[in-house]
Amino acid sequence: MVKFEEVLAKVKQFHPNDDLEVLKEAYRFSADQHKGQHRESGEPFLNHPVAVANILADMRLDSSCVSVGLLHDVVEDTVIPLKKIEQHFGKDIANIINGLTKIRKFHIDSKEAEQAENFRRMFLAMVDDIRVVLVKLADRLHNMRTLKFLPPERRTRIAQETLDIYAPIAHRLGMGKIRGELEDLAFITLSPESYFQIEKEVKEKRKIRKKFLNDTKEKLIKKCKQHKISCTVESRIKRTYSIYQKVKNQKIPVEQVYDLLAIRIITASVDDCYVVLGIIHNLWQPVPGRIKDYIALPRPNMYQSIHTSVIEKRGQPFEVQIRTNEMHRVAEEGIAAHWKYKLGQKTDKNDDQRFLWLRHLVEWHQEVNDPSDFLRALKVDLYPEEVYTFSPKGKVVALPRQATPVDFAYAIHSEVGDSCVGAKVNGRIVSLKSQLKNGDIVEIQTQRGQFPNRDWLSFVKTYRARNRIKHYLNVNQKKKAIELGRRILEKEARRYKINIKKYIEDGSLLNVAQEFNCAKMEDLYVALGFGRVFGRTLLSKVLSPEELKDRFSEKTGFLSSTVKKVFRRPLQDTLKVKNIDDILVSRAKCCNPIKGEEIVGYLTRGKGVAVHATRCTNVGNLLYNADRKVDVLWTGINEGLYGVKLSISVDDRRGMLAEITSQISKIKTNIKDIEAQSFEDNRGLINVTIEVDDIKHLEKTIKSIKMIKNINEIVWQ
């Protein structure tokens, strides 16, 4: 059992300037609150918080962090409101305790690898102060050490959770020692047979191996002395759980685990590390492909070392790790060690380089003047791109930041998304647009017969949701077009007393359809529905010339114009919707865009795509619905198709009109219409409609008119 005095002494040793009164007060407070409580083992409950504080003190954390170790169960196990903690111990300590309470409500119980990873990430995403994680790990470590007192079922659950979540988190934060202990403790609980099997195999030859390691150590120390390198040499036999994993994953006997035996050399400088590497490769045969230089290329969790595997004369392989003192501390204690270094000294440029990865994850508080505030000021956002949410059944759903309940619904299942009508977050009804936060429990309400809403596209954040909604809208639109197309055809057929059924059944309509690039009747209906093909055009092609004569010409006189339309190159040839062929495209009447102008397409209901010039004042209003915006292009050649009305205001003088007309015809531009007005103040207005090929042609024409004297302004409508 750890005594509080020991903890106090450690903090005093590592942090001589810290306020120990806070620590003592935390102890008194905790002792008072946990009075009369006992653990499952029968010992007083207070032993647990003291042990946790001791683990934190060993990590050389400061007095407030160790105080949290003492207080961590106070809010949970007794009825102390957080406010009281804050009054007693200040905001900093209260905040860490609050962070602990926040993550305590999640019981993580999943063997699914992907879910476990999501849990780990969510766990880290939910804390903004990494000290919360450190206290949680210390708490878990002590609970694991005393696990045997719990009933078997809880034991298994906690051990599995430790293996799935906490050990990997310790690993991720670079805390090798804690990770190793957590893993072994969990392993004993979960598979005692495998554990003892491996233990046995390792133990059998333990004596021989111990001797081997000692001999090797001595040899190495001697050599280093010859090279005047001061170093400490440690040796170890690999941890049981790690051996088990290698044996299991690589399907090899314990003997063949290369790093079963390992020697570690801790030097004073980086240069010495490389000299020692040379010495080792001189003494023993290195195994090809097993030299790893994590000094030059540190691992993302800041781990640095040189690794190499060598084989001794008699065939015994072992691993060698070479690192400096500082690297050793980081390897053993990870993030905690990093903080230790940071405390009491300002960051320098080198540090910035070394912890580049951390800066990725960490939001630095720029205004840190007092370096001792570093710990407190260090706020982390470990997954700034993501948010982790729960289904009511406890499944973790990872989404991008700012994701909404609709994204969540589609992440669960596309049908849930399609029929979603409302959402509850943490039991409260929220809007489908609201943004989800880490740890939110999201419940989606669905209703049969509900469909995705076009408006959702304006706020969903996931590709999955976006694609599904678009897919639905497209399918739906096509369905509607087919229906509309079929009705149009029937109506036209009735009008001209054509038995359309006959032409459908004998396939002649389908033959004609192919002329319009429609392979199936369905495509033909879509084309009719979108207005790409006109019903009468189609019918005129199905009927024989005699039938045509009878039906159309006398009645409506429409045939001639229909036929003309078919033969005349239609306007839409020069306009094309990007990536789509079978859709009607027309120029918007409000702005009549001219070939070459900047244009934008707008998907209308039932009339295909209307193309506006971007200068058009309607564009802003229409395109509020971004989803109906389509990219359109000018293609092909088309001459003299664009009638443009120019209003030319002039000083009225003799010959003006003639000059303008001659100037226009000089550059081979057709005038379709021209009219002139004069006003009392000696001003005139000439409206001329010209035909141009494209925007360049128009610009050329305007430029050439402007060369005439006394032209004031030309407005193009």
The residue among 139 and 272 lying less far from Mn ion, judged by its C-beta, is 139
CB 524 within 8 A of CB 485: yes
Q: Which stretch in 68-76, 453-461, 562-570, 667-675 sits in contact with Mn ion by CB under 5 A?
A: 68-76
Amino acid identity of residue 539, one-letter, is L
Residue 135 beta carbon to Mn ion: minimum distance, rounded to whole angstroms? 9
Residue 315 beta carbon to Mn ion: minimum distance, rounded to whole angstroms? 48
CB 643 within 8 A of CB 608: no
State the residue for tokens 């021989």: 208
Question: Token pair for residue 200?
Answer: 């046995």
Dist CA 201 CA 240 (whole Å): 10
Question: Token pair for residue 442?
Answer: 């999201």
Q: Which stretch in 31-39, 71-79, 539-547, 644-652 sits in contact with Mn ion by CB under 5 A?
A: 71-79
* 117 flagged as catalytic: no
Catalytic residue of the set 32, 43, 76, 598 = 76
> What is residue 616's DSSP assignment?
-
The residue among 73 and 92 lying less far from Mn ion, judged by its C-beta, is 73
Pairing of strands 711-716, 642-651: antiparallel
Q: Which stretch in 11-19, 72-80, 443-451, 639-647 sits in contact with Mn ion by CB under 5 A?
A: 72-80
Amino acid identity of residue 399, one-letter, is L
The residue among 1 and 113 lying less far from Mn ion, judged by its C-beta, is 1
> What is residue 352's DSSP assignment?
H
Question: Token pair for residue 420?
Answer: 């979603």
Residue 72 beta carbon to Mn ion: minimum distance, rounded to whole angstroms? 6
Dist CA 73 CA 71 (whole Å): 6
Nearest Cα to 339, choosing from 349, 330, 331? Answer: 330
CB 548 within 8 A of CB 540: yes
The residue among 139 and 333 lying less far from Mn ion, judged by its C-beta, is 139
The residue among 144 and 512 lying less far from Mn ion, judged by its C-beta, is 144
Residue 139 beta carbon to Mn ion: minimum distance, rounded to whole angstroms? 4
CB 307 within 8 A of CB 294: yes
Q: Which stretch in 30-38, 131-139, 254-262, 306-314 sits in contact with Mn ion by CB under 5 A?
A: 131-139
Residue 49 beta carbon to Mn ion: minimum distance, rounded to whole angstroms? 7
Q: Which stretch in 135-143, 535-543, 571-579, 667-675 sits in contact with Mn ion by CB under 5 A?
A: 135-143
Pairing of strands 317-324, 362-363: unpaired
The residue among 34 and 328 lying less far from Mn ion, judged by its C-beta, is 34
Q: By CB under 5 A, how many residues form the interface with Mn ion? A: 2
Dist CA 515 CA 541 (whole Å): 10
Point out the residue whose Cβ comes nearest to Mn ion: 139
Residue 48 beta carbon to Mn ion: minimum distance, rounded to whole angstroms? 6
Q: Which stretch in 37-45, 133-141, 469-477, 636-644 sits in contact with Mn ion by CB under 5 A?
A: 133-141
CB-count burial class (<10 Å; 0-12, 13-18, 19+) for 690 = buried
Residue 76 beta carbon to Mn ion: minimum distance, rounded to whole angstroms? 8
Catalytic residue of the set 19, 77, 86, 550 = 77
Q: Is 139 in the site for Mn ion (CB under 5 A)?
A: yes
CB 341 within 8 A of CB 97: no
Q: Which stretch in 136-144, 422-430, 526-534, 631-639 sits in contact with Mn ion by CB under 5 A?
A: 136-144
* 76 flagged as catalytic: yes
The residue among 142 and 532 lying less far from Mn ion, judged by its C-beta, is 142
Residue 50 beta carbon to Mn ion: minimum distance, rounded to whole angstroms? 11
Q: Is 97 in the site for Mn ion (CB under 5 A)?
A: no
Largest Cα span, the chain: 121
The residue among 106 and 558 lying less far from Mn ion, judged by its C-beta, is 106
**Length of the chain, please?**
717
Within 659-688, the residues that bind Mn ion by CB under 5 A are none
Q: Is 71 in the site for Mn ion (CB under 5 A)?
A: no
Residue 27 beta carbon to Mn ion: minimum distance, rounded to whole angstroms? 15
The residue among 143 and 301 lying less far from Mn ion, judged by its C-beta, is 143
- Which of 18, 73, 443, 694 binds Mn ion (CB under 5 A)? It is 73
* Cβ atoms within 10 Å of 155's Cβ, excluding its own: 17
Dist CA 82 CA 87 (whole Å): 9
Amino acid identity of residue 167, one-letter, is A
- Helix spans in 456-552 (H): 463-495, 500-505, 508-515, 521-530, 535-542, 545-548
Within 503-562, the residues that bind Mn ion by CB under 5 A are none
Cα→Cα distances 539→492, 530, 536, 547, Å: 8, 17, 5, 10
Please spell the DSSP secondary structure of 373-412, one letter per residue.
Answer: GHHHH-EE-S-TTEEEEE-TTS-EEEEETT--HHHHHHHH
Residue 124 beta carbon to Mn ion: minimum distance, rounded to whole angstroms? 19
CB 376 within 8 A of CB 431: no
The residue among 73 and 492 lying less far from Mn ion, judged by its C-beta, is 73
In the complex, the residues that contact Mn ion under the rule CB under 5 A are 73, 139
Active-site residue list: 76-77
